């Protein structure tokens, strides 16, 4: 919640022909012209999307890891975990991507959504389901290595710290 205004400013600064001359100028201009709450546009879909993304990402990783290593034919390795992490991240980000689209659209200047539900309805009416997935491929190219590294690091740190395997771990 505290860093959400930075996300809004980042998006606005990345727009073509942005009227802002840096981060501080963007914060001051947005706050004075649109009000302080304009910096928090899109916060609701961000908060709504965090828990499902994390839950789906970790549960998918755990399920894929169990499925891959349970028969004993494949020994756990960082290379295999890279692939498992990539698949888990792709699934989780794909399922949650519509909320990310809503968040970004709400943050853009000139958008007049009355809230998250209104944005969902308007995007669907004007663009159909495809409207929720614009930019998905580029996002996936970012998520795959990011999530792969996250889970390989996670496994490495578990091993390094001697974290014992629980009954629910794979």
| pLDDT per residue as tens digits for the range 137-157 | 999 999 999 999 999 999 999
* Contact predicate 88/61, CB 8 Å: yes
Q: How many helices (H) and strands (E) does the chain have?
A: 6, 0
| pLDDT per residue as tens digits for the range 3-31 | 899 989 998 898 888 899 999 999 999 99
Three-class secondary structure assignment of the chain: CCCHHHHHHHHHHHCCCCCCCCHHHHHHHHHHHHCHHHHHCCHHHHHHHHHHHHHHHHHHHHHHHHHHHCCCCCCCCHHHHHHHHHHHHHHHHHHHHHHHHHHHHHHCCCCCCCCHHHHHHHHHHHHCHHHHHCCHHHHHHHHHHHHHHHHHHHHHHHHHCCCCCCCCCC
Please state the pTM of the whole predicted model: 0.78
* Contact predicate 18/12, CB 8 Å: yes
pLDDT of residue 108: 86
Q: How confident is the model at residue 46 (pLDDT cuts 50, 70, 90)?
A: confident
How much is the CA Rg of the chain, to the nearest whole Å?
Answer: 20
């Amino acid at each position: 919640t505290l860093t959400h205004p930075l996300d809004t400013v980042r998006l606005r600064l990345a727009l073509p022909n942005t009227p802002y001359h840096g981060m501080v100028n963007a914060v001051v201009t947005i706050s004075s012209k649109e009000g302080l709450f304009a910096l928090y546009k899109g916060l609701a879909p961000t908060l709504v999307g965090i828990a499902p993304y994390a839950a789906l990402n970790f549960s998918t990783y755990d399920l894929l890891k169990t499925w891959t290593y349970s028969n004993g034919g494949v020994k756990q390795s960082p290379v295999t975990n890279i692939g498992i992490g990539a698949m888990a991240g792709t699934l989780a980000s794909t399922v949650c991507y519509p909320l990310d689209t809503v968040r970004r659209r709400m943050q853009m200047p000139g958008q007049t959504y009355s809230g998250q539900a209104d944005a969902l309805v308007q995007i669907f009416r004007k663009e159909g389901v495809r409207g929720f997935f614009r930019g998905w491929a580029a996002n996936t190219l970012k998520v795959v290595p990011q999530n792969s590294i996250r889970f390989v690091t996670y496994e490495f740190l578990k091993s390094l710290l001697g974290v014992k395997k629980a009954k629910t771990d794979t």
